[in-house]
Amino acid sequence: MVTLTRLEADLFALAGSVPDPELPVLTLRELGVLRAVRVRDADSVEVELTPTYTGCPAVEAMSMNIERVLREHGMREVTVRTVLAPAWSTDDITAEGRRKLREFGIAPPRATSAVGPVAMQLGPTRTRDAKAAPASPAPQPTTPTAPTAFTEPLRCPHCGSAATELLSRFSSTACKALRRCLDCREPFDHFKEL
């Protein structure tokens, strides 16, 4: 574990307080994309940022906002580097971030019991998670790794029901899917598990 200097800790807190441009209800710290802040000299700093996925269009806006905030607090030179390894995962979202997503009307990603990549299965556009079984069984993986087992159901952020259906695998951003609650009938975004 790397020990931060007092200045690095302060700058990390400042950079971490920058709102995510696509989900302004979350800060970059709560989203878990801010990885490190290293002071190079008295007024020069390097920041490491990991996007939610390679090619995320919000990285440029995140970088500019971090640079602006740190310059406002006395840093003459701010370098923001995109770091792809280790890759970001939805496990990096803090408990506070998950709470804020839910309160904002977005279902947070579920915790998984799988270690490694999240299993992906292609299927029909609309699928029901509860109340009804799929029309045909899901294909079984051919690799020795087991499919991802979610430790909790996907719940509607409006009423808390676990009876939801997928309307579209993509929503307002590539990180989210569009779902609908089968009980309260409200549509909602779901931050997809990665």
Apex 167 CA angle, 161 and 173, nearest 5: 100
In a domain, 37, yes or no: yes
In a domain, 76, yes or no: yes
- Tell me the one-letter amino acid at 136: S
CB-based contact 190:162 (threshold 8 Å): no
Q: Are residues 191 and 146 in the same domain?
A: yes
Q: Are residues 69 and 144 in the same domain?
A: no
Q: Are residues 112 and 189 in the same domain?
A: yes
What is the chain's mean pLDDT, rounded?
Answer: 84
Query: Where a domain ends, among 55, 82, 109?
Result: 82
Query: Which is higher by pLDDT, 143 or 122?
Result: 122
Give SS3 for 3: coil
50-66 pLDDT, tens digit each: 999 888 889 999 999 99
Q: Where are the alpha helices (DSSP H) in 32-58?
A: none
Q: Residue 42 pLDDT more than 90?
A: no
pLDDT of residue 146: 41
In a domain, 135, yes or no: yes
- Tell me the one-letter amino acid at 54: T
Q: Are residues 50 and 77 in the same domain?
A: yes
Instruction: Give mean pLDDT, residues 106-128.
Output: 65
Count of domains observed in the chain: 2
Residue 174's pLDDT band (boundaries 50, 70, 90)? confident
Q: Residue 116 pLDDT more than 60?
A: no
Q: Are residues 76 and 112 in the same domain?
A: no
Domain that holds residue 139: 101-194
pLDDT of residue 153: 86
Residue 190 has a CB neighbour count (10 Å cut-off) of 23
pLDDT of residue 84: 93
27-39 pLDDT, tens digit each: 999 999 999 999 9
**Residue 34 CA neighbour count, 13 Å, CB half:** 28
Residue 33 has a CB neighbour count (10 Å cut-off) of 26
3-30 pLDDT, tens digit each: 778 999 999 999 999 999 999 999 999 9
Q: Can you tell me the distance from the alpha carbon of 175 to that of 83, in angstroms, rounded to the nearest whole number?
A: 18
pTM tops 0.85:
no
